[in-house]
Structure 1
Amino acid sequence: MSVLIIVESQFGNTRHAADAVAEGLHDALGGGAAVEVVDAADAGPQIPAEVRLLLVGGPTHAFSMTRERTREGAHEQGATAHEPSESGIREWIESVQARPDVPVYTFDTRVKVPGLPGSAAKSALKALQHRGFQHVERGETFWVEDTAGPLKHDEIDRAKAWGAELAGHVSG
């Protein structure tokens, strides 16, 4: 049995959060499950049979998941994680073959601006449901200081704690 975390990160903040979630899951599960973090650009359309929990996370750009144009904008602001033309979680979700039996949690990173709507996690949830995933829940938002980051104080600890909490959702 295993946990798969599909992540997109432009400035590295979402990847740091995903790695911390993975650490929390790994610590809570002991040796009971493999936890793998895979960049969305490298993820294939098949979810392996041994996966019992799926997490999908990305940065919030323009109130939603990234698009090629918003990734270009991130590069213009100094992002170096990926080429703008590489696919993100939006494109991965559009290509993935649904596993209705697998619980899925979405998460995102974004700048905390009072009253600013939109969330990559919320958009990903809707897109995953549309693809045929049946057990999808919106997870956490991890806050960044500004567009380029870093993650706000204690967000890594919060991500580890959320990962430990999610360990209870991994079934054999």
Structure 2
Amino acid sequence: MARALVVYESMFGNAKLIAEAIARGLSIWRSTDVLEVGVAPDVLPSDLDLLVVGAPTHAFGLSRPGTRKAATQYQKQVLSSGRGMREWLAVVAQERVGVEAVAFDTGIRFAPGSAARVATLALRKLRFEVRYQPKSFDVVTAIGPLLDGEAERAEEWGRAIAEASFSHN
């Protein structure tokens, strides 16, 4: 059976909610696991055929240790308190070539920058098969919540990726 992995970084829970919604959409066509980036494996399983990565947009792109520390000014307990997506993408390896990948982010609508675009560039450098455009999901403020309907939109996006990916394989 086809297998997907959704890896997310989340400070306030918004990217986690989107990751879980995407996984629900993907799970119609494939076995899907969801992992916080701090516990994601450095070497991807050999049976993986789709990787989805997501993170909040911080300072125009993926977070850095300083922007993650700044996030604790809004809320003391954050979900992703260790390494971030930027650091994981610097070390992750795939056991086989041809793994498809796609990225998403969360952020305030019309704010500049995109963590998903930066992640997509990293995925291409790592030689993942990037066939799908990155997607942004909107939050009301820097700490959330998600705008109404974003979780549903994420689930539908996951379903669409699963169907498109399934037709490629």
Stretch moving more, 161-170 or 5-14: 161-170
Q: Paired residue for 1:56?
A: 53
- Equivalent residues in 2 for 1:69-84 (5 A)? 69-78=66-75, 80-82=77-79, 84=81
Query: What letter matches 1:151 in structure 2?
Result: L
Change (3 A) 1:144 1:136: same
Q: Paired residue for 1:97?
A: 93
Distance 2:160 2:128 in 1: 21
Q: TM-score, normalised by structure 1?
A: 0.89
Q: Deviations over 1:99-137 (max 9, x none)?
A: 530110000000113xx3210000001112222324354
Q: Paired residue for 1:122?
A: 117
Residue pair 1:8, 1:14 contacting (<8 A) in 2 also: yes
Distance 1:144 1:121 in 2: 15
Change (3 A) 1:83 1:123: closer
Q: Paired residue for 1:47?
A: 44
Distance 1:96 1:83 in 2: 17
Structure 2: gaps (5+ residues): none
Q: Paired residue for 1:140?
A: 135
Structure 1: gaps (5+ residues): none
Q: Deviations over 1:114-170 (max 9, x none)?
A: xx3210000001112222324354321000000110000100110110011011214
Change (3 A) 1:23 1:145: same
Instruction: Decide which of 138, 156, 161 is 1:161's aligned counterpart.
Output: 156
Paired-residue identity, %: 35
Q: TM-score, normalised by structure 2?
A: 0.90
User: What is the number of equivalent residue pairs in this alignment?
Assistant: 165
